[in-house]
Amino acid sequence: MNPVARAVLLIAFDLAAMLMLLLVLTYLGMSHVFLLVAGILFFWVTVYDSRTGRLSALFALIFSLPGPAEKGRLNWIPALLSLVLIIYSIPLLIKHGMVNQIQRVSMQAGLFPRFAIYAIAATSVVAAIAVYTVIFYRGKR
């Protein structure tokens, strides 16, 4: 299988799996816990990779993509977005605890299908941008 196609499949599978987990936890009223854990994990991975470059190099090696870009001005964006997730979800966790009863009741009372449609649409846009980026930078090699 083509390395770019493997990377595209990995991106699509990863985003779909995260979307499914988010939808299940949203239905149960625990989406803020997912956002907090994801934010902490992404922040740790981003900081680790920005210091060592090992994860980017490994990803590039596995999928035969161009090597990781030099550390530029935009490399702080993933860490900033991870911090936004953490800052957003901590007050919700403090206020509601592990289960946000208001969210759980509203999702189970009929709001879930509308939320799911918007979440699927947003995930599709993010996946399309990620796939375009992989394909675009593969051509610049």
Full 3-state SS string of the chain: CCHHHHHHHHHHHHHHHHHHHHHHHHHCCCHHHHHHHHHHHHHHHHHHHHHHCHHHHHHHHHCCCCCCCCCCHHHHHHHHHHHHHHHHHHHHHHHHCCCCHHHHHHHHHHHHHHHHHHHHHHHHHHHHHHHHHHHHHHHCC
For residue range 38-96, list pLDDT tens digits in order: 999 999 999 998 888 888 888 778 777 666 666 655 678 888 999 999 999 999 999 99
